[in-house]
Amino acid sequence: MSGTNWDHELDARGLLCPLPVLKARKRLQALAPGAVLRMLADDPAAVIDVPHFCAEAGHTLVDTAEEDNAQVYLIRKA
């Protein structure tokens, strides 16, 4: 993962599509523009859903990684 720090974390492990993205959307609404959300998800569909959500909503997908059998996404709020 890049050296990017994050402001908030969302553990969406165990949740299936579309819940990880819906929870990320709700959490991001409460954050200030430029804030970074670190989201963990283990739903196989998240690798498609999260980048698509970021592109549609105008957020920046800063980085992705694999950690403890989960995907990690760093999302910067638009």
Which residues are part of the catalytic machinery?
17
Whole-angstrom distance, CA of residue 38 vs CA of residue 33: 15
What is the SS3 assignment for 14?
Answer: coil
Cβ-contact 36, 75 below 8 angstroms: yes
Nearest-10 Cα torsion for 69, 4, 33, 56: -50
